[in-house]
Chain A
Amino acid sequence: MLRYIGKRILYMIPVLLGVTLLVFFIMHLAPGNVAAMILGENATAEQIAELEHEMGLDRPLLAQYAAYLGGLLRGDLGTSYTSGESVTAKIMACFPYTVRLALVAAVVSVLLALPLGILAAVKQNTWVDNVSMVISLIGVSMPIFWLAVMLILLFSLKLGWFPVYGAKSWNSIVLPAISLGFMNMASIARTTRSSMVETLRQDYIRTAYAKGLSKGAIVIRHAFRNGMLPTITVIGLEIGQMLGGAVLTETVFAWPGVGRMMIQAINGRDTPTVMGCIVLLTVCFSFVNLIVDLLYGVVDPRVRTMYR
C-alpha cells in the first residue's frame, strides 16, 4: 500500500512541474511591458530598462523559469507587482478562507447528495426518484454565479437573513457554500443514483435476497460499498471543479479567498500573484485526486491486492 502511495506522489511531481512550466510560459506570452506598467506613464526608457534588469525580466525565459522554480521549491513565490509584498504571504492570508469555503461546501453537498442518490435508486421510478433527479438535473445546469446572485436576491436583499457579501459574521459562509456546493451535490446525486441502480442489478444482490436478508441490510451492506466506487471518482472530480468555481463564488460574495485574489491580480496584471494562485489551486486539486485514488483502494479490496 505504501508503495502505491509513493508511486502516485512520485508521479504527481512531474505533472505539477509541467503545469508550472505551462502556466509560466502562457503568462509571459502576455503582451505589454511589465516594468513600464509598474513605473507608470512618465517613466523613461532608462528607468524601464533598469527595473527590468533588477527584476530579472531581461534574462531568457527559461532562465527566468528556472529561477522561479528554484524559488517555488523554497516556498518563495516571488513578489507582487502591484503591492510589493511577498506573494506567498498574500496567498497564505487568503488561503484559509478558500479552504473553509470549499470544505463546508464539499462536506454539506456530499452529505446531502449520497442519501438522495441512494434513495432515488432504491425507489427507482417512483415520485421520489423523479423529483430528486429533476432537481439534480436543474442543479447541474445552473450556472454557479447565477445561483449566487439569485440567492443574494432572495435571502439577503428581500429576506435579510444573510449578509450580502464579505466574511465577517458566522453566517456569511452559508450562501457562498450553497451556491458553490449545489452543482456539486446535484452531480454527485446523479452519479450515485445511476451507479446504485447498476449495482442493484448485479447477481450478488440476487444472492443476498436469496439468503433472506432484508432490503435495508442489502442496500447498506452489499450495494452501498460497490455503488460508491464510481461515486468516489466523481466526488474527486467535482471537488476539483469546485476549486475553479470558487473563483466565481468568491467574486460574487466578495469572499476574501484565493480565487478573488486571483481575479484582482489578473485585472492588475500582477503576474506573480496569478501564478502563485494557480500553482496553489493546482496542487490542491492534485492532492484531492490522490486522496480519491487512495480512497478507492480502501473501499475496493480488488485494487488493494493489486498493489500489495
Chain B
Amino acid sequence: MEVGKRNNKQREEELDFASIPKNSGFKETFFRLCRNKAAVAGMVFLVLLILISVFADVLFDYQTTCVDQTISQRLQWPSAEHWFGTDEFGRDLLARVVHGSRISLSIGVAAVAFGLLVGGILGAVAGFFGGMVDNVIMRACDVFLAVPMMLMAIVIVAALGASITNLVVALAISSVPTFARIVRSAVLGVRDMEYVEAARAVGVKTGRTIARYILPNCMGPIIVQTTLRIAATISNTAALSFLGLGVKPPQPEWGALLSSGREFIRDSAYLACIPGVCIMLTILALNLLGDGLRDALDPRLK
C-alpha cells in the first residue's frame, strides 16, 4: 500500500469504483435513474439550459442586447419588458445571462473532456505498464493534488494570461488526477485477468486491449465523476471570472456579471443576485444528476 495520498481521496474513489458493477446495462441504469425525481429534475433543467445556450443567438441577438449600450435604460429593475432587468449600460440582463450560459457550459464541458482524455490515457498507461512509469505518473498526480484546485487554476491563469484556452487548460488540469486514478484502478483490476492475457497472446495490440476491456469496467465511476467535475469547473470558472482572472467583461460570463453587479448592490441588488442564482441552479442540477447516477449505478440499491 502506498503510504500517503491513498488514505484520502484515493480511498474514496477506490470505494466508489469497487461498488460499481462491471456491466450494468445502459437502459437499465437509465430507468433506475428516472425513478429518482430529483435527478430527473436536474436532467430536465440541464437539457433546457443546453438548448437555450445553443440557440442563444436565435433568442437574443448578441450585438444589440449584449454590446450596444442604451444609457437611458440603465439599471432598471426586472419588468415585463426586461425580465431580468438591465445593467449599468442598459443592456438586457436576461440576454446577457443566456449568452453567458454558452460560455460557462462550453468551458465546463471542454475542460472536463480534455481532463478526461489526458487523465484517462495517463491512468491507463500507469496501470498497464506499472513499475517506474506508474510511480512517476502517480507522484506527478500527487503533486498536482497537493495544491488546492482553485489555487492551481489561479496560478496558471495568472502566469499565462486569461484567454479562454488557458482557462480551459488550467481547469482541465485539476480534473486530470481524478480521472487518471479511476482509469488506473480499472486497469489494475482487469490487467491480470485471464481474458486480457489471452487477448495479448493472440496478438491483440496493447491499445486495443485497453480500449476494449478496460473501458467498460470504469464507465460507471467515470460518468459520475464527469458530471460532478463539470459542476466544479463551472463553479471555478465563475470564481476566476469573479476575481478578474477568468473571462473578462464585456463577455457576459456569470461570474463576471456577479463581479460587476457587486458595485451596484445597494440599489440594484438584482444585478448580483440573478447571475448567482443561475450558477447555483446549474451546479445544483449537475449535482443532482451526478448523485442520481451514482445511486443508479450502485448495485446494492437494486
Consider the complex of A and B and state whether they touch directly, i.e. have CB atoms less than 8 Å apart.
yes
A7 B3 Cβ-Cβ under 8 A: yes
Q: Is the CB of A149 within 8 A of B262?
A: yes
CB distance from B108 to the nearest CB of A (A): 14
How close is B103's CB to chain A, nearest CB, in angstroms?
A: 15
Residues of B282-299 whose CB lies within 8 A of A: 283-284, 287-288
- Residue A77 at the chain B interface, CB threshold 8 Å: no
**Contact indicator B3/A8 (Cβ below 8 Å):** yes
Contact with A233, one of B3, B8, B273, B284 (Cβ below 8 angstroms): B8
Given A141-B280, A237-B9, A23 and B155 contact (CB-CB distance below 8 Å): yes
Please judge, given known A-B contacts A15-B142, A274-B158, A281-B151, whether A145 and B265 are in contact too, CB under 8 Å.
no
Please name all residues of chain B whose beta carbon is closer than 8 Å to the beta carbon of A31 when the two chains form the complex.
Answer: 161
> Residue-by-residue, is A76-96 near B (CB-CB < 8 Å gives 1, otherwise 0)?
000000000000000000000
**A: interface residue count bin:** 35 or more
Q: Which residues of A sit under 8 angstroms from B150, Cβ to Cβ?
A: 241, 244-245, 247-248
- The complex places the Cα of A262 from the Cα of B144 at a distance, in Å, of 19
Find chain B residues with CB under 8 A from A15 CB: 4, 139, 142-143, 146
B243 touches A247 (CB 8 A): yes
Q: Which segment, of B81-89, B192-200, B234-242, faces chain A?
A: B234-242
A243 touches B151 (CB 8 A): yes
* B21 interfacial by beta-carbon distance below 8 Å: no
Instruction: Kindly state the separation between the CA atoms of A28 and B158 in the bound complex, as whole angstroms.
Output: 11
Residues of A within 8 A of B231 (CB): 141
Q: Would you call B12 and A233 a contact (CB within 8 A)?
A: yes
Q: How far is the CA of A23 from the CA of B152 in the complex (A)?
A: 8
Q: How far is the CA of A46 from the CA of B61 in the complex (A)?
A: 52
Centre residue among A145, A240, A262 by max chain B CB count within 10 A? A145
The docked-state distance in angstroms from the alpha carbon of A47 to that of B4 is 49
Q: Is B148 engaged at the interface, CB distance under 8 Å to the other chain?
A: yes
Establish whether residues A11 and B243, one from each chain, have CB atoms under 8 Å apart when the complex forms.
Answer: no
* Bound complex: CA A152 to CA B3 (Å): 44
Do A137 and B139 form a contact, CB below 8 Å, given A149-B272, A157-B265, A233-B9? Answer: no
Chain B residues 265-286 with CB under 8 Å of chain A are 265-266, 269, 272-273, 276, 279-281, 283-284
Does B243 lie within 8 Å of A241, measured CB to CB?
A: no
Q: Which residues of B contact A159 (CB under 8 A)?
A: none
Asked if A241 and B158 make an inter-chain contact with CB atoms under 8 angstroms apart, the answer reads no
Q: How far is the CB of A230 from chain B (nearest CB, A)?
A: 7
Q: Which of B243, B273, B287 contacts A248 (CB 8 A)?
A: B243
Contact between B159 and A241, CB atoms less than 8 A apart? no
Closest to B161 in A: A31
- Is B4 within 8 A of A143, CB to CB? no
Residue from B142, B151, B262, B287 within 8 A of A141 (CB atoms): B287
In the bound complex, how far is the Cα of B146 from the Cα of A286, in angstroms? 6
Contact present for A153 and B12 (CB under 8 Å): no
